[in-house]
């Protein structure tokens, strides 16, 4: 459990103890307004993937803006438990509920909230149906369809049709529709690339509907391509999450959205000219497939992150850096970084406005 040194509300950012995770409220709301306003004019609506930041207080801000379909998405059933306890009563769980304990928890949640789960095989569906029917609840089901180079999901249309029929014929489950499995290779800026990536999903939709089965929900997309996916005929839900906070990973595709989340660190050592050591390493920035970006020193180059420190080359930085200066890192993957903190320092006009708990941190189950 993180034990931060809390500063009084109204403290300047530069006075905060480091390392800390900051969210600029004005930028956060600007990003949310931009994306949700886009969806107000689309047939497809956004279902915010709040499992990215794991913070109910931030999710509440997102849901105050229209353009969504009334629900949220999370990655695990324990995350769903947290958000439902905080008033989010329409929740999609994108991760598979494989064990009996997870299914039992989902059924308990379904007694007081609308729960949607994803499946991609008949054996898992049988387990879900058996437990849900024994508990006297119904779980809505989205069949996950494999995307190009994806790791999960049904890979052929006939199997998806058979699975849809099985959902309809099972007790305790309601067939809701389809969801495309996420794949990093789906990120793209060209419409034809996006269309190609979701063609398997649309083919399955057509086959199921041709067999007289309604497909109420067709879900696809992410922050990197929400604006392209939402315009595809047949898609009516986009589960994007990083758009509100933004990170290096998604900035390449959505440059109009600005970084609201940042890790603030402090320069602690200057061992030689052109090298500084900061106090924000892998334990606070994360250890993903890429490095964070130093926002206030864009010409600085991160050499590497150790567990608790960062080694930074500053030979190209024009302005002097001294011990005690602050370093503001844009996370490479905000979902990884947010999970490393128990608290978010909410900032407005450069001052601490509120301290938010990352309530669903570490809820992997």
Q: Which pLDDT value is given to residue 22?
A: 99
Tell which of 244, 277, 303 closes a domain: 244
DSSP letters along 279-305, please?
S--HHHH--SSS--EESS-TT-EEEEE
Instruction: Give the count of domains, the chain.
Output: 2
**Same domain for 284 and 230:** no
* CATH number assigned to the domain comprising residue 145: 3.20.20.10
**Same domain for 138 and 88:** yes
**Same domain for 173 and 90:** yes
Q: Which pLDDT value is given to residue 149?
A: 66
**Same domain for 349 and 284:** yes
**Same domain for 198 and 97:** yes
Q: Which of 55, 23, 18, 12 is nearest to 342 (CA)?
A: 55
Q: Which pLDDT value is given to residue 271?
A: 94
DSSP three-state, residue 186 = helix
Rg (CA), the chain: 22
Residue 264 forms part of a structural domain: yes
Strand order in the sheet with 217-219: 45-46, 237-238, 217-219, 173-180, 139-145, 114-119, 90-93, 72-74
Q: In Å, what is the CA distance from 155 to each residue of 181, 217, 350? A: 10, 19, 49
* Residues ≥6 apart with Cβ < 8 Å to 214: none
**Same domain for 261 and 206:** no
Dist. CA 326–CA 321, nearest whole Å: 9
Classify residue 27 as left (phi > 0), alpha (psi -120 to 50) or beta.
alpha
DSSP three-state, residue 83 = helix
Check residue 154 and report its DSSP letter. Answer: B
**Same domain for 107 and 144:** yes
Partners of 238 in the β-ladder:
46
Residue 363 forms part of a structural domain: no
Residue 6 forms part of a structural domain: no
Tell which of 185, 219, 244 closes a domain: 244
Each residue's pLDDT, cut to its tens digit, for the chain (365 residues) gives 556 667 899 999 999 999 999 999 999 999 999 999 999 999 999 999 999 999 999 999 999 999 999 999 999 999 999 999 999 999 999 999 999 999 999 999 999 999 999 999 999 999 999 999 999 999 999 999 998 766 789 999 999 999 999 999 999 999 999 999 976 545 555 677 777 889 999 999 999 999 999 999 999 999 999 999 999 999 999 999 999 999 999 999 999 999 999 999 999 999 999 999 999 999 999 987 899 999 999 999 999 999 999 999 999 999 999 999 999 999 999 999 999 999 999 999 999 999 999 999 999 89
Tell which of 244, 277, 311 closes a domain: 244
What range defines the domain where residue 229 resides?
A: 25-244
- Whether the Cβ atoms of residue 274 and residue 304 lie closer than 8 Å to each other: no
Residue 250 forms part of a structural domain: no
Phi (first) and psi of residue 48, to 5 degrees: -60, 130
Q: Which pLDDT value is given to residue 316?
A: 96
Q: Which pLDDT value is given to residue 283?
A: 95
Strands 293-294 and 301-305: unpaired
Residue 5 forms part of a structural domain: no
* CATH number assigned to the domain comprising residue 261: 2.40.37.20
Residue 81 forms part of a structural domain: yes
Residue 7 forms part of a structural domain: no
**Same domain for 183 and 41:** yes
């Amino acid at each position: 459990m993180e034990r931060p040194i809390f500063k009084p509300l109204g403290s300047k950012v530069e006075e905060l103890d480091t390392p800390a995770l900051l969210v600029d409220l004005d930028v956060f709301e600007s990003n949310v307004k931009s994306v949700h306003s886009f969806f107000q004019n689309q047939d497809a609506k956004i279902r915010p993937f709040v499992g990215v930041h794991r913070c109910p207080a931030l999710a509440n801000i997102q849901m105050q803006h229209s353009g969504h379909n009334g629900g949220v998405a999370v990655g695990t059933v324990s995350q769903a438990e947290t958000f439902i306890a905080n008033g989010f009563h329409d929740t999609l769980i994108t991760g598979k509920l494989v064990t009996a304990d997870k299914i039992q928890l989902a059924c308990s949640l379904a007694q007081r909230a609308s729960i949607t789960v994803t499946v991609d095989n008949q054996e898992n569906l049988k387990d879900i149906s058996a437990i849900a029917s024994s508990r006297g609840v119904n779980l809505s089901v989205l069949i996950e369809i494999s995307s190009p180079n994806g790791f999960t999901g049904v890979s052929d249309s006939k199997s998806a049709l058979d699975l849809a029929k099985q959902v309809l014929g099972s007790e305790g489950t309601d067939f809701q529709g389809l969801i495309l499995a996420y794949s990093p290779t789906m990120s793209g800026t060209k419409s034809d690339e996006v269309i190609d990536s979701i063609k398997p999903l649309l083919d399955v939709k057509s086959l199921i509907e041709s067999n007289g089965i309604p497909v109420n929900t067709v879900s696809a997309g992410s922050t990197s391509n929400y604006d392209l996916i939402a315009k595809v005929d047949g898609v009516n839900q986009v589960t994007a999450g990083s758009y509100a906070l933004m990170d290096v990973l998604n900035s390449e595709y959505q440059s109009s959205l600005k970084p609201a989340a940042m890790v603030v660190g402090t320069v602690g050592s200057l061992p030689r000219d052109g090298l500084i050591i900061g106090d924000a390493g892998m334990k606070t920035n994360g250890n993903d497939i890429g490095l964070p970006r130093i926002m206030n020193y864009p010409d600085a180059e991160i050499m590497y992150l150790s567990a608790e420190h960062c080694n930074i080359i500053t030979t190209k930085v024009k302005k002097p850096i001294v011990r005690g200066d602050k370093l503001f890192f844009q996370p490479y993957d905000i979902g990884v970084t947010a999970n490393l903190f128990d608290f978010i320092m909410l900032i407005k006009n450069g001052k601490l406005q509120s301290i938010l708990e990352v309530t669903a941190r570490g809820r992997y189950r």
